[in-house]
Structure 1
Amino acid sequence: MRIAVYGASGYTGRLVVAELARRGLDVLLVGRDPERLRLAATEAGAPGAAVRVAGLDEPAALAEALRGSDGVISCVAPFTVHGEPVLRAAIAARCHYVDISGEQPHTKYVHDAFGVEAERAGITVLPAATDDGVPADLLAHLTAARVAPVDALVIAHRLSGGTMSRGTLNSMLANITAFTGGGLSFVDGQWLADADGVPTSLVFPGDAAPVEVAGLAAPELPGIPRHLPARLVTAVVEREFLARLSAVAAAEVVASLPEGPDAEQRADSGFVLVADAVGVDGRRARGVLTGVDVYGSTALIAVESIRRLVADGAKPGVLAPAEAFDPADFLGFLTRHGVRWSVTG
């Protein structure tokens, strides 16, 4: 199994290469600068990994560089700026595609625009294979099944500890309107901004009282209505997180920061995902998932996603995680790597 990585010299890209090497998979690094790619391979524990040179502005060369690979993981952020060429090259090369985008506008664009092309190429495309993108979708599916048919589903995000990489912050800057505006919600079959019904407070697991929350441009949201019919699907995050984000959401601040958290900071970071589902009959269910090491978890999830697409197969097209994988089985895999999850109700 050969897996190509575009953006391998970036912070999360190197973690992805390291996870591929740890699994013993054949790694191909693709990009514009061969020396940076070789250095990234060595730093990630994959010295001697194959390198091919192709830029994002060279569609034919990029497709040729990916040709012969079984799949590609795109780590080239911001995805709304740089993501499309890698996806088009994967379709041309007929290799399965996942990316680590946390950008809702990109994820929605992929779902809206590339389904037919991916089907014709016979490949599966899975955007937002991240620490939140895949688990939130799978957790939502399992939670909603407890109360189906579903009236409303709310996904809540909480992040703790650690620091963000420059790549994450640059992605937020490139999508600042979506991030600060609360993103889109799915309401009565339409995607709306400033939708009614988005919660303003929520009690997270372990808390004695509710905290203020606001709408979140969550990357998993565009895929959920594909497999989960509901009147309302939306996502929220603690307002306190948005306040912290605003303190660094300036290009000059981001440029002065370290490339990403060190190993100790990564180990100190954690995430909580909550899926609250309400059935049309008023029944309620809650799914809760907790994990550690945001960036390490993203690398793990992206690699496991592409491995399953190649080894186990999925229908061609652009899919949400719950369409591509058995939700309980994938979450069961993650429990072996520090993730805990449950569904009640």
Structure 2
Amino acid sequence: MSNHTFAVYGASGFQGILVLAELARRNLTPVLVGRDAGKLKAAAAQAGMPDADLRVATLDDHTALVAAFQDADVVINCAGPFTSTGDRVIAAALAAGSHYTDTCGEQPFLQHVYETYPAAAESAGVTIVPAATDGGIPGDLLAHLLGERLGPLAELTSIHRFGGETAMSRGSLRTMLGIADAMTDGGLAYLDNAWRPGPFDPPAPVTLPGAAEPVAVAPFPLQEPVSVPRHVSVRTVRGMVEDSTRALFATPLTNEMIESLPVGPNDAQRAAGTWTIVLDAVAESGRRARGVISGPDTYGTTARTAVEAAARLATTPASAGVLAPAQAFDPADFLAALAPFGVHWTIEDH
């Protein structure tokens, strides 16, 4: 095991167990933190670490949370929905002096973290990098590389695509339920150097990689409009998904419906799934380029991405504060670390 310790909050959840398995694969030392000792013990066994350190702490017990994180180099928060619970985990990480990252895909909470915690994190000597997911880190890093290639950008459009069978965990579905309004109106976009809420005018169809004809796309609350303007000179950043995907995400849900579903996709469903991020950039000079990054298994890639981020925070800490991925990590080097797991990217002039 390493000399560094990684506290996983929400360790018994679907995403948390995958993060534990990745920590075990890399021979990194975990601390499992959650509300239920029995579930933590079962999660440790499932992840192949039956002798792991288990610590019970509820979100309502700040003192217990701080104690659980006290000797952790990094807290990896896997317990969504983050909009309703994430502040309490961040507060405990700051009090414990632990760096923080999470598997959040909720754009409202991401913006909240960037706006709320910079001074507290700097004061505590802690680095916070939210949204260490397949959607939150690769697109942000690729956007930085596009900015380096083209210079100041007039516009950047991010389009997230999903292939294979679309099967989501209960946690993801609870997240969708919690940010339903943002998904309906498109969330935030960065327009003319300011963050603005939707609804937005329907965008023009886009011809995506491998497609012969343009497809309809719709505004969607992605991570790039929130994170990219913090490190790329850009006037406008928009987030989109294919309109068919947005319609799928807009399917009405209730907590009762979610609880009746499997805890998450099975191994076959995960193996069949793919994700792609398409970034179309227009420079102030008029030059255009497209960056494309893709990989398999959104939940597995998120686990590897979160652990890679946490390991880098533990071993080569970035400056204290709330940082976008490209502010905390070398973009090309981080993406290279994901390549062995099927994550590939390209940038081409258009």
Partner of 1:276: 280
Contact residue 158 and residue 224 of structure 2 kept, 8 A: no
Partner of 1:342: 346
Partner of 1:164: 168
Partner of 1:182: 186
TM alignment of 1:137-216, pairs within 5 A: 137-162=140-165, 163-194=167-198, 199-216=203-220
1:98 to 98, 101, 108: 101
Partner of 2:114: 111
Contact residue 186 and residue 219 of structure 2 kept, 8 A: yes
Distance 1:158 1:268 in 2: 14
Distance 1:161 1:183 in 2: 26
Contact residue 186 and residue 199 of structure 2 kept, 8 A: no
- Deviations 1:143-198, CA, capped at 9 Å, x for gaps: 12222111001111001123011100100101100112111111122211237687
Partner of 1:66: 69
* Secondary structure in structure 2 of the residue aligned to 1:300: helix
Contact residue 154 and residue 277 of structure 1 kept, 8 A: yes
Partner of 1:75: 78
Partner of 1:227: 231
Return the offset for 1:84: 0.9
* Secondary structure in structure 2 of the residue aligned to 1:330: helix
2:267 to 259, 263, 266: 263
Distance 2:207 2:164 in 1: 19
Partner of 1:127: 130
Q: Does 1:11 align with 2:22?
A: no
Return the offset for 1:219: 2.6
Distance 1:248 1:337 in 2: 34
* Secondary structure in structure 1 of the residue aligned to 2:12: coil
Contact residue 11 and residue 32 of structure 2 kept, 8 A: yes
2:47 to 36, 41, 44: 44
Identity of aligned residues (%): 47
Q: Which runs of 5+ in 2 are unaligned?
A: none
Equivalenced residues, count: 345
Contact residue 292 and residue 346 of structure 2 kept, 8 A: yes
Task: State the superposition RMSD in angstroms.
Answer: 1.3
Distance 2:106 2:321 in 1: 20
Q: Which amino acid aligns with 1:22?
A: R
Return the offset for 1:123: 1.0
Q: Which amino acid aligns with 2:189?
A: S
Task: Name whichever of 170-179 and 191-200 sits farther off.
Answer: 191-200
Task: Name whichever of 250-259 and 323-332 sits farther off.
Answer: 250-259
Contact residue 75 and residue 98 of structure 2 kept, 8 A: yes
Partner of 1:321: 325
* Secondary structure in structure 1 of the residue aligned to 2:49: coil
- Deviations 1:89-133, CA, capped at 9 Å, x for gaps: 010001110000000001000000001100111111011000110
Partner of 1:87: 90
Instruction: Check 1:172–1:127 CA distance in 2 against 1; reply closer, same or farther (3 A cut).
Output: same
* Secondary structure in structure 2 of the residue aligned to 1:206: coil
Q: Which amino acid aligns with 1:144?
A: G
Contact residue 73 and residue 314 of structure 2 kept, 8 A: yes
Instruction: Check 1:24–1:17 CA distance in 2 against 1; reply closer, same or farther (3 A cut).
Output: same
Return the offset for 1:275: 0.8
Distance 1:83 1:106 in 2: 8
Partner of 2:296: 292
Return the offset for 1:246: 2.6
Return the offset for 1:312: 1.3
Partner of 1:2: 5
Q: Which amino acid aligns with 2:206?
A: L
Contact residue 185 and residue 200 of structure 2 kept, 8 A: no
Q: Which amino acid aligns with 1:338?
A: G
- Deviations 1:223-274, CA, capped at 9 Å, x for gaps: 1111012110111001101112233533333222111001110000000101
Q: Which amino acid aligns with 2:288?
A: R
* Secondary structure in structure 2 of the residue aligned to 1:5: strand
Return the offset for 1:12: 0.5
Contact residue 141 and residue 326 of structure 2 kept, 8 A: yes
Distance 1:93 1:127 in 2: 17
